[in-house]
Chains A and B, each alone.
Chain A
Amino acid sequence: MAGDGDRGLAGRAAAGDAAAFAVLVEEHAPRLHRWLVATGTPHHDAEDVVQEAFLRAHGAIARYDARWAFSTWLFTIAHRLRLDQAARRRDHATLDAVPVLAAEPPTDPLPEGGLWARARELLPVEEFRLLWLHYAEDQAPSAVARVLGINPIAARVRLHRARKRLEAALRADPAFTPAEVLS
């Protein structure tokens, strides 16, 4: 985890160092975008969320709590923005009766037939987000809980449940090599 270096950069950014903030953007913007797209956010919406998340982080950098990794803080902001965006879109869909999502070319980053693609097929989106934050973003369960706004114990339980469900589904799948899972 690049937490300690990011904490230092965030501290310098809070003291007014714009170059330190630029390093944080370079480091985290692609990761945040990848998480958003992998968990179902359309490509252009993901870019809007990334921009808005960094804008909020920029404005509130003085209030950044260094007890948490910068990525935890940033992903928390982005997750809330995405929830707001989804709620607004639902409202507009109800009012205007227009399609919720505009058609756009597929930009799926998950390799076909890979474990992450299988996990996304098998798991509810909330469990997939948990799994991603923990295993792909290397966030501790308490940090995952903070990002998703859930209880840390619930995060641990859901993480365990998601992993077990994935393992069980893969065991039952003849296309998957059981030995790789059961070892």
Chain B
Amino acid sequence: MSDVPTRLRDEARAIRSTADAGLAGRVLASMPAGGMPTRPPLRFPILLAAAALLMIATAVAMVAGPRAAAPVRPVAMRMPAPLTLGEMLDGAQAGLPVTAINSELNALGADLTAVARTVRSAVPF
């Protein structure tokens, strides 16, 4: 007694050949003359040679290492001298006169007035 897979395998071994004895001979006779084709030759040997040369040149350059860098001479950095208090006050007085403060305040007041006017006109009540 056996299951279906086992019977299929067993019966397959008993199935007769359908080909006559000369089939293999006819197949071989139909093969092209000149023996077995081997691996095709490389199509672009010049390009491959150029690529190989490029790789060798790259490898040689990598093995030789980078060119030695020129020695660097340290240069002392010159720091500016700090300002004195008198110099800072002189600069503030020169850059911000009193009249400028008044005019800035006046301009700010004018801006606020304009904003208030705009808001008032935009509100419908």
Contacts and interface: CB of A to CB of B under 8 A. Distances in A.
Nearest to A34: B18
B14 interface: yes
A111 interface: yes
Interface string A12-37: 01111110011001100110011001
Give the one of B16, B18, B32, B39 with max A CB within 10 A. B18
A110 B36 contact: no
Nearest to B39: A62
A54 B11 CA distance: 27
A109 B16 CA distance: 6
Interface string B5-23: 1011101101111110001
A75 to B, nearest CB: 15
B37 A62 contact: yes
A38 interface: yes
A81 interface: no
Given A180-B1, A183-B3, A111 B14 contact: yes
A33 B38 CA distance: 27
A136 B37 contact: no
A59 B109 CA distance: 96
Contacts of A34: 15, 17-19
A132 B30 CA distance: 28
B94 to A, nearest CB: 87
Given A114-B11, A119-B8, A62 B17 contact: no
A93 interface: no
Nearest to A116: B11
A69 interface: no
B31 interface: yes
28 contacts: A14-B36, A15-B36, A17-B36, A21-B36, A22-B28, A25-B24, A25-B27, A29-B24, A30-B18, A30-B19, A33-B19, A34-B15, A47-B23, A50-B19, A51-B30, A55-B32, A58-B32, A58-B36, A62-B38, A107-B18, A115-B4, A115-B11, A116-B11, A119-B8, A163-B4, A179-B1, A180-B7, A181-B4
